[in-house]
Amino acid sequence: MNNTPTPHIGAQYGEIAETILMAGDPLRAKFIADHFLTDPVLFNEVRGMLGYTGTYNGKRVSVMGHGMGIPSIGIYSYELFNFYGVKTIIRVGSAGSCHPDLKLGDIVIAQGACTDSNYGAQFELPGTFAPIADFDLLRAAAAACEKRKIHYMVGNILSSDAFYSDNPHTDSWMKMGVLAVEMEASALYMNAARSGNRALVICTISDHILTGEEMTADARRTTFTNMMEVALSLI
C-alpha cells in the first residue's frame, strides 16, 4: 500500500534519502541544503516544513525541519521511518546546557533521553522505556568531534514537553547527571526503536540555564556549522 504523500510530507516515495538530517527550524534545514548539499531538490514545503534531497561527498542525503516538541517530531519521524523507507535520522538541534562545562557553541551528543512526556505510554510497556541512541552513530559522532577538536560531551539529556515551565525542576535533573535540555530526542529514539531503525541526536548549546546566556535566533540558524559537519560526516 502506498502511503505517500502523507498528510504532513508532500514527497513521493523515493524522493527522500535513506539518511536524513532533521532540525527544529526548517530554515536551518534550508541553510544545510544551501551550504553543504550538491544539487538539492525541494521535496516538501507542506506547513512550511522545508525538506531537500541532494548529495554530500557523492552520497545521497536529505535534510528537513521537524518543528518544535515531541508531538511534532513524533509525527514526522514516524512517517519517515514507516512510509518513506528512511533508515537513519540524525537530529541537529539546539539545547540548553545545565552543566557548567558545556558552554555556548559546544556540542552535546545524546546517549540517552530522559523525558517528562507521556509519549511512551502508547506502547503499553510493562515498565519505563529508556530511549537511547544508535551506538555506531554515537561513536562515530564522538570521533568526528575529536578529529575536528570540537568541545563536546556525551550523556543523558532531557526532552521536556514545556519550554516555559512553572516548575522546571532543573536541579533535580542535574543531580541525575543530565547535561542539557531540549524537546524532541526521546520521541525520535522511541520511534527509531519501534520501527527497527537508527537515530542520533546532536545538539549545539544555544543557551545556558545556569548562566542565562543565550544565542539569537539567527545565530541558531546559521552558526551551528560544526554540528552540521559532524552530522554529515556520518552519512
- 3-state percent breakdown (helix, strand, coil) of the chain, nearest 5: 35, 30, 40
| Catalytic-residue membership of 134 | no
The β-bridge partners of 60 are 55
CB distance 194 to 85 below 8 Å: no
Rounded Cα distance between 224 and 205, Å, is 9
Query: Which entry of 25, 34, 171, 207 is annotated as an active-site residue?
Result: 207
Rounded Cα distance between 228 and 140, Å, is 14
211: its cell numbers? 548562566
CA dihedral 8, 10, 14, 16 (to 10 degrees): -70
The β-bridge partners of 108 are 153, 203
Phi, psi of 3 (to 5 degrees): -100, 10
Q: Cell numbers 548529495 label which residue?
A: 55
Active site residues: 207
